[in-house]
Homo-oligomer: A and B are copies of this chain.
């Protein structure tokens, strides 16, 4: 993932309204929601919601599909998974012993496997 893509995605999630919209869409799964429904559910002006949805779509955070005169929006979950991978892809690279992630959630498989103190992967 490119840095620009990542910053746009994060920017999309940095407003309370957009975060509410995204989480609402995550809840709806593949059903998604049409724009007016989203605006009504969150009790926001439709044009404001449309403004934010446009940005979110442009960033790649949501997808949109036309249904007659409705626009159905869905969360783009695969993109989110890529984003998370991008964020942590360099986590403790080559140095699992430096990893800051609690072992229970181990970002890096090596941290769980090897008790190696400083180096020497043997295989």
From known contacts A80-B88, A102-B78, infer whether A16 and B30 are also in contact, taking CB-CB under 8 Å. no
Question: So how many copies of this chain end up in the complex?
Answer: 2
Residue A54 is within 8 A (CB to CB) of chain B in the complex: no
A contacts with B: majority SS: helix
Residue A3 is within 8 A (CB to CB) of chain B in the complex: yes
Name the CB-closest residue of B to A15.
Answer: B7
Total chain A interface residues with beta-carbon distance under 8 A:
42
Name the CB-closest residue of B to A24.
Answer: B90
Cα A10 to Cα B14 with chains together (Å): 5
Residues of B within 8 A of A78 (CB): 100-102
Residue A26 is within 8 A (CB to CB) of chain B in the complex: yes
